[in-house]
Structure 1
Amino acid sequence: MKTSFLSTINSNNKSKLSAGFVKAALGAFAMIFVVSCKVGEEYTRPDFGDDVSSEFYAGGKKEETLAVDSLNSNEVNNDTIPMSEIPWKDYITDRTLQNLIDTALVNNIDLQKAMKNMEIGMEELAQSKANFFPSLNARPAEYRRDYYSENFNNYGSNRARRNHGENPPESFYTERLEYASALQANWEIDVWGKLRWQKEAARAQFMKSKEFKKAVQTSLISEVAATYFNLVMLKSQIEVAQKNYALSDSTLNIVQLQYDAGESTSLAIQQTKSQKLKAKTLIPQLERQYVIMENKLNRLLGRSPREIQIDTDFEDIEFQERYTSGVPLELIKNRPDVAMSEYELITANADAGVANALRYPSLNIGASAGLNSFKLEEFFDPVGSGFALLNGAIFQPIFNNRKLKTNYNVALSQKEIAQLDFKDDLITAIADVSNSLAKMEKLKEEFAIAQERIEVTQKGLKDAGMLFKGGYANYLEVISAQSDALESELNLINIKNQLLIANVELYRSLGGGWQ
């Protein structure tokens, strides 16, 4: 069904009736606008009940949490502030690593792309706001001339006689001639909230793009830190391997002297030399891994491969243990990926509102005003050439109602899917934190054991060397002590590196890094 009205106003006509009609129509539209309502359900955050725990699980131990409601907390003691609320420069104190992260935040390509996506979302949000206002278009100049012949259905019309007199030509006469210039406006009245839902969806998508940028940043900081720690670890392991190679060379020299003195066999020389070559082989293996890791870090920094100067001593790097993990519901506001999932649910809810609003009548009004004349010399006469048009229309879907209903039902199902995705992402995030807490707890135990072991193996290596030089131990015992000491030292470095990365990973899993 479509209803419309058209009012044409000329300055030399009686205009009181037309003006009254226009005012009445505008008044009716204004009343409809005032009493208009927004169909659909406003978004409320779903309550997942006991499916989302109030504490992080870390293998039977209850982790320390905040004693206040995470969604309504105003003041938090600095000694118990959650890790996720700590700015990354306060959490990561290594100056070299801070400089690398600063470079990555400026040059990283993925982060730059995320920022561009955020700009796109901002433009789309601005466009959704503009939809509430009338559209205004101009036709600065328009020329039209229609030619017809005698057999034309409207031959001899008033328009033709006005151009040619009482006897228009029989072939290709000018039926219509006009010069025009006009302004046109069109306005869709948001009776059922369609435009408001579209604005809400655009806003949710913009906020999602902001959270995506945060997610890229937190992931970038975590990856740069992990790669940096791996580099420092490999550097330390190379030093250990070189020290072990020098020790193996010294042992071979002693065995050679014993062989020359007739106190050992050629087999001892061969086995000791084999141990020396084994120790030497480890050095290029570690150096190869170092170059690959160095290239990975350069890519994160947004630049081509080059040498990265790292003067940090691995033993000087300390663990971060000052802050608590907070409570699971904080992940909604702190973890960008969880926030993105909720904004996707908000978008789905808004899309359902749009689909619902499309099932109801829509109201459009339009207007145009300008100049129109069949004589160019009289075109700029506002009295004789001026015109104004006003029209309105109500559109009610009838035969496509089934399609609109289907679209609405599909939108509701998609909303339910988005809610399930939100729940799944929240549970996954909580599990991620719990895994990081358990990993850190067990790595601390491993590190303590590794420290105790290295004390034992270093003492054993020292004793084996002294006994070997005194003739109370053979070369096999020395080789075994050297291998055990090397393994324990490399293992200690590796566990410490895992613990450092676990610290950063826990920080990321809690949502830290974007502040």
Structure 2
Amino acid sequence: MKFISNIKPFFILAFAAIIVSSCATRDKYVRSTEFNDNIFRTDLLPKDSSTIAQISWKDFFTDPILQKHIAKGLENNLDVRIAVQNILVSEAFVKQSKAAYLPTLSAGPTYTLQTQSLNSSFGQIIGNRKFNDNFQFSGNMNWDIDVWGKLSAQERAQLASYLGTVEAHKSIKSELVANIASNYYQLLTLDEQKRIIQETIDLRNKNLETTKALKTAGNLTEVAVQQSEALVFNAKAMLVDLDTQIEILENSTCILLGIPSQKIERANSKTPQFPKDISIGYSSELLANRPDVKQAEFQLINAFQLTNAAKASFYPNFSLSATGGFQSGDFDKFFSANSLFANFVGSLIQPILNKRQIKTQYEVSLANKQIAYLNFRKTFLNAGQEVSNALKRYNSQDKFIEYKIQEKEAYKKSVDYSKELVNYGLANYLEVINASVNLLTAELNISNAQYTKMKANIDLYRALGGGWK
């Protein structure tokens, strides 16, 4: 009973410290109102909160071959797998921060053999060497009481860091899905352009034979023949360049899929099927779905809480420590009641001079908090810019394609008319060449414009936070 009554003040002190800790004033994170502004450059905001970002990638991309590629990429992509490991690391730190409230305990035996120097003052008095044995088995406990909320701030900082890694994982998945889809549709576009150029080569070969016949008939010169042949070589060179682009793009797609370089399976048609009635939602919905924006905000919360922890370092540190066990110079008496010993210490330490370390830590935490805020603001604005850019490209491409189709039809008529005029000797063959080159360029431009519209749709899906579900 006397033992318990002696340590009773320490438990009372610990309980009082916990009560003080619960009443301590701490800064709470509140998002700035400036992040509630609309950041889309459009007047077509809907009245509801629906958004294509809420659609699963399996429902957004309906091509079964593309779905298979995306599933493989999400499973094998190295960046995704690294992000998962980062989550596990962060999760371990969260568990550690939760355990920081508990005392540290250690226990173990100790044996000490001591003998004095015969040349020391004590040794000269005794006159002969003596050996002293000391056997000890002790347990040690140390408990830092979180009076000022330092440990709780560090726990919230670690939790924000963990949630940030989760959002980073989502962001990588969203980016990966968009990149795989963009590469896939670009491959379809290059296949279509390859078909256009192959048809152009066949047509120009026929024109070359016609030019040779007209030269034999005396209607054209060798110059026209060489120009026609040059057009064939030009188209064949474009075909070689397209094959190179296709293989390089397939190789880069294989990196996304986490597989060795190989041919990428794809559909025969490049016409994609996307959900209709696209709705973009408000900026609050953008924040609710964009993983990189949420990640940036969690990084800000992490820096905010670390500032709270650094601020708490200015206040006194209260801790309880205890040591107890068995100690004896004679092993035969080691387990007797007289060998028991105990030591309890309650300390309240106020830092006074510590080479400016605490103040430097606090100033650095303030600067890091400002950096995190600016990065959050930058990410937020970039998100709005990406949505605005994708919207503009998506909405303007239909009119652009319409004009390009009209341009192609005009060049096609120009080729037919110029050939007819050359046959009657009313035009120079150079006009046929120019019209033919312009026709091919117009056809390729239409193909590129159609891909631009597809990519704008994919970019809008990713910019609004879609792709990770």
Give the structure-1-normalised TM-score.
Answer: 0.84
Give matches, 1:147-166, under 5 Å. 147-150=115-118, 152=120
Query: 1:63 pairs with 44, 48, 60, which one?
Result: 44
Structure 2: how far apart are the matches of 1:29 and 1:269? 101
Asked whether 1:267 is paired with 2:223, we answer: yes
Query: 2:319 pairs with 358, 364, 371, which one?
Result: 364
Give the structure-2-normalised TM-score.
Answer: 0.92
The corresponding residue for 2:82 is 113
Asked whether 1:338 is paired with 2:293, we answer: yes
Asked whether 1:31 is paired with 2:39, we answer: no
Asked whether 1:376 is paired with 2:331, we answer: yes
Which digits, 9 at most, give the CA deviation of each residue in 1:156-195, with x for residues without a partner?
Answer: 9xxxxxxxxxxx9624312x42112222221111111010
SS at match of 1:441: helix
Amino acid at match of 2:291: P
Structure 2: how far apart are the matches of 1:321 and 1:452? 26
Compared CA separation, residues 257 and 377, structure 1 to 2 (3 A): same
Query: 1:325 pairs with 280, 288, 299, which one?
Result: 280
Deviation of residue 122 (structure 1)? 0.5
Asked whether 1:293 is paired with 2:274, we answer: no
The corresponding residue for 1:251 is 207
Query: 2:38 pairs with 54, 58, 64, which one?
Result: 54
Structure 2: how far apart are the matches of 1:238 and 1:348? 53
Deviation of residue 415 (structure 1)? 2.3
Deviation of residue 458 (structure 1)? 4.0
Task: After superposing the two structures, state which structure 1 stretch, 262-271 or 111-120, moved more.
Answer: 262-271
Deviation of residue 470 (structure 1)? 8.6
Q: Which runs of 5+ in 2 are unaligned?
A: none
Kept in 2, the 8 Å contact 1:220–1:300? The answer is yes
Structure 2: how far apart are the matches of 1:213 and 1:154? 69
Deviation of residue 496 (structure 1)? 0.6
Deviation of residue 460 (structure 1)? 4.7
Percent identity between matched residues is: 31
Deviation of residue 466 (structure 1)? 7.0
Amino acid at match of 2:127: E
SS at match of 1:48: helix
The corresponding residue for 1:180 is 136
Structure 1: how far apart are the matches of 2:386 and 2:219? 60
Deviation of residue 26 (structure 1)? 1.1
Kept in 2, the 8 Å contact 1:114–1:212? The answer is yes
Q: Which has the higher helix share?
A: 2
The corresponding residue for 2:468 is 514
Query: 1:499 pairs with 448, 453, 457, which one?
Result: 453
Query: 1:400 pairs with 329, 333, 354, which one?
Result: 354
Kept in 2, the 8 Å contact 1:39–1:357? The answer is no
Kept in 2, the 8 Å contact 1:40–1:356? The answer is no
The corresponding residue for 1:98 is 67
Query: 1:88 pairs with 49, 53, 57, which one?
Result: 57
Deviation of residue 506 (structure 1)? 1.1
The corresponding residue for 1:350 is 305
Compared CA separation, residues 318 and 454, structure 1 to 2 (3 A): farther
Structure 1: how far apart are the matches of 2:24 and 2:327? 41
Structure 2: how far apart are the matches of 1:136 and 1:232? 64
Q: Which runs of 5+ in 1 are unaligned?
A: 1-15, 69-80, 157-167
Structure 2: how far apart are the matches of 1:110 and 1:26? 51
Deviation of residue 229 (structure 1)? 1.5
Kept in 2, the 8 Å contact 1:212–1:336? The answer is yes
Asked whether 1:137 is paired with 2:102, we answer: no
Deviation of residue 390 (structure 1)? 2.3
Which digits, 9 at most, give the CA deviation of each residue in 1:412-458, with x for residues without a partner?
Answer: 34323432332232122112211221122222221221233334444
Deviation of residue 202 (structure 1)? 0.4
Kept in 2, the 8 Å contact 1:149–1:173? The answer is no
Structure 1: how far apart are the matches of 2:442 and 2:275? 24
Amino acid at match of 2:172: V
Kept in 2, the 8 Å contact 1:149–1:170? The answer is no
Kept in 2, the 8 Å contact 1:39–1:356? The answer is no
The corresponding residue for 1:72 is none
- RMSD (Å) for aligned C-alpha atoms: 2.5
Which digits, 9 at most, give the CA deviation of each residue in 1:35-81, with x for residues without a partner?
Answer: 323343011111117xx6326214xxx1233445xxxxxxxxxxxx2
Kept in 1, the 8 Å contact 2:393–2:452? The answer is no
Kept in 2, the 8 Å contact 1:244–1:482? The answer is no
The corresponding residue for 1:170 is 127
Amino acid at match of 2:170: K
Asked whether 1:41 is paired with 2:23, we answer: no
Structure 1 consecutive aligned stretches of length 4 or more whose deviation exceeds 6 Å: 465-474
Compared CA separation, residues 317 and 195, structure 1 to 2 (3 A): same
The corresponding residue for 1:219 is 175
SS at match of 1:228: helix
SS at match of 1:426: helix
SS at match of 2:33: coil
Structure 2: how far apart are the matches of 1:201 and 1:153? 58
State how many pairs are aligned. Answer: 468
Structure 1: how far apart are the matches of 2:105 and 2:60? 53
The corresponding residue for 1:482 is 436
The corresponding residue for 1:9 is none
Structure 2: how far apart are the matches of 1:309 and 1:138? 63
SS at match of 2:219: coil
Compared CA separation, residues 121 and 35, structure 1 to 2 (3 A): same
Compared CA separation, residues 449 and 172, structure 1 to 2 (3 A): farther
SS at match of 1:221: helix
